[in-house]
Amino acid sequence: MTSTYPANGTTGVPTNARIRVAFSMAMDTASTEAAFSITPVVSGSFEWAGDNSVVYWKPAQRLAVETPYTYSVETRATGASGPGLNRRLSVSFTTGDDTSAFVSVIMCGRSVMAGWFSHWGGSSCAQGRFTLGHHEVMPPPDIAANVCAWLDSLIFIDLPPVLFFKLCFVDFVGGDSLTAQENLDRNVDYVDSVYAAARRRSLRMIVGNALP
C-alpha cells in the first residue's frame, strides 16, 4: 500500500470526500471492490485510475457531520497478476462540521490565462475556499488532444478537482457565415472531447472563453 485518503486518524474530513487507496501494484478490480467496506455502512461506487493501481470510492450521499468512520480492505483483494495484500488495511477518520469542502480548480487555457495567474501571484493560488492551478494548453488543432491526454494521466491525491477549460479570442473567427459556423462546429467538437475525458475521470467541468 502506498497511500490513502483520508489518512488514518484524520479529523475534519469534508462530508463530500471520496476515499482513495493507492496500491503499489495493479489490482484485480472485482476482488478489491468486494474486499472493501466502510462503517457506519454507506452505499457508494468505485472508480479506478493509474492502470488499476488507484481506487476511489465515492459515497452515494454526503457523509454525516462530525462522525467517525472506518474503511477497510481485506486480504482477499488480489493483484492483477497474482498475490495482493499481505495484511488487512483499516483506516479511521472523522468528518468535520462543515459540508462546504475546499475545492481545487484546474484551469486549462493559454494566452490571457497566464496573465491571470501572473496577476494572482502564480500557480497554484488560493481564492477563498478555492485553490486554482494553471495548465498551459496547446493551440488548435491540438488543444483537445493535449488536454485529454493530460487529464487521463492525472492521479488525484484527495478530492478530484473541478476542470475549467477555456478557448481564446483567436480560436473564434468571423467573416462570412459559413466560415463562422465551421469554426464554431470545430470548437464545439473540442469541448465535447474534453468533456468526455472529464466524465471518464468523474470531474465537474466549466467551459469558458475570452469573449465579452
Q: What is the dihedral of CA 139, 144, 145, 146, to 10 degrees?
A: 50
Pairing of strands 162-167, 19-22: unpaired
Which stretches in the chain have pLDDT values below 70?
1-2, 98-102, 126, 128-129, 157-159, 210-212
Q: Which fold has domain 103-209?
A: Rossmann fold (3.40.50)
Q: Residue 28's closest CA among 103, 79, 74, 67?
A: 79
Q: pLDDT, tens digit, for every residue of 62-86?
A: 899 999 999 999 999 999 988 888 8
The 3-class SS string of 133-172 reads EEEECCCCCCHHHHHHHHHHHCCCCCCCCEEEEEECHHHC
pLDDT number for residue 17: 82
**3-95 belongs to which CATH class?**
mainly beta
Q: Taking the domains of the chain in order of start, what are their residue ranges?
A: 3-95, 103-209
